[in-house]
Amino acid sequence: MHTEAMPQLLVDLSELVRHDARSGIQRVVRGMLQTLLAAPPAGYQVRPVYDAGGYYAYAGTETDDAGQARYVPAAAGTDTPLQVRPGDLFVGIDLSIESVVRNQAVLASLRQHGVRLYFMVYDLLPVRQPAWFVDGLAIAFGHWLHAVAALADGLICNSYATADDLLAWLDEHPPQRAQALQIGCAALGADLAATLPSSGISTSEAALLPLLAQRPTLLMVGTLEPRKMQGQVLEAFEQLWQQEQDLNLVIVGKPGWRMEALAERLRAHPEQGRRLFWLERASDELLLHLYQHSSALLAASQGEGYGLPLIEAAQHGLPVVARDLAVFREVGGQHAWYFHADDGAQLATALTDWLALHAQGQAPASGGMPRLDWAASTAQLLACVVDGRWYCRAPVKLP
């Protein structure tokens, strides 16, 4: 079969081509995209695309300083708009909120031309807990949810916990449409080395690694956000240090919204550089070393769609201490240690309990945690969009 006659699998990279924020979601995009390009599903040609401003175009490539290929917008006036045919698939792996909302008419036109539309849903936290996010995100995210629920042939979630939450939201806000809306699941992979990782470790960062071996070290990974609960963790460690518990806290993550006070507190903290280490701009290479040199991952977030750091930690045999969330239970099972804590004092008590178990060799090991590489994760995505193997149908309202 000539390539020109093969259906296209169009992977929307609208956010990634403009700014690779190196977030968890964009690690997913890079991991799945590389898998699809290396091993396209039988009968399809994989074409990365992006929002070119009122229409979608094929993405260009360039080579960065490390010799890695990056997808970029085509030079002005040289882009090639999509040419589609019935049977093509449009898959939004990246979270392109503004692009999808702005291009609803374009996407509807693609569907009228026989293109099937699919989007990943990573969580519903902005509409469930708007106070955790920057002003306006809940409204924008709500517009995106309504748009994909109305336009898509199917929505693929990263966990069954997210899928069940999405189904509950759709029951509250059934889209008006004649066709069924399918809901699927594709658990996320974990392989930092395979997702075009950023590299480089500074002299001061290299000097940090031996310090982690001097005492138990708990590692947090994620942007400073209200829901991530770094403030509660810091309060717990301050109590533990006052109780002469000798341990390190390492926080990896850039400062996020509404976190100016905590950021300043971390920078000025008397333990900063001694037993407290905040790495605002850690490369993926450094993160790999931190996973290898720490005593445990501390996942204290109040809400997640999946919890990719749990899988990355398990990949390196790093024990996991996690807040008792349904999604963390789904990901970690019996291979993590779970806690409840409403304040820093309760968390300090919980961490004391875990440290005692750890010292006795009785804390749960993460080695048996089920985890996928990106090939297996992408296979679950393709099982939905290509093979039609879905979790369930969502409630809809007929026009």
pLDDT in tens, 103-138: 999 999 999 999 999 999 999 999 999 999 888 999
State the pLDDT at residue 369: 93
Q: What is the mean pLDDT of residues 290-302?
A: 97
Please check whether residues 42 and 92 belong to one and the same domain: yes
State the pLDDT at residue 228: 96
Domain with residue 298: its CATH number is: 3.40.50.2000
State the pLDDT at residue 334: 97
State the pLDDT at residue 71: 82
Q: pLDDT class for 284, splitting at 50, 70, 90? A: confident
State the pLDDT at residue 21: 61
Q: Count how many domains the chain has.
A: 2
pLDDT at 162 > cutoff 90? yes
Radius of gyration over every alpha carbon of the chain, rounded to an integer in angstroms? 22
Please check whether residues 253 and 206 belong to one and the same domain: yes
The range of the structural domain enclosing residue 346 comes to 197-359
In a domain, 354, yes or no: yes
pTM comes to 0.86
In a domain, 366, yes or no: no
Distance CA 10, CA 91 (A): 6
Please check whether residues 201 and 185 belong to one and the same domain: no
84 DSSP 8-state letter: -
State the pLDDT at residue 3: 47
Q: What is the mean pLDDT of residues 203-219?
A: 91
State the pLDDT at residue 197: 54
Distance CA 164, CA 57 (A): 34
Q: pLDDT class for 353, splitting at 50, 70, 90? A: very high
Please check whether residues 176 and 203 belong to one and the same domain: no
pLDDT at 194 > cutoff 70? no
What's the mean per-residue pLDDT of the chain?
92
pLDDT at 219 > cutoff 70? yes
In a domain, 329, yes or no: yes
State the pLDDT at residue 97: 95
In a domain, 365, yes or no: no
For 282-302, letters b (16+ CB in 10 Å) and e give bbbbbbbbbbebbbbbbbbbe
Please check whether residues 118 and 94 belong to one and the same domain: yes
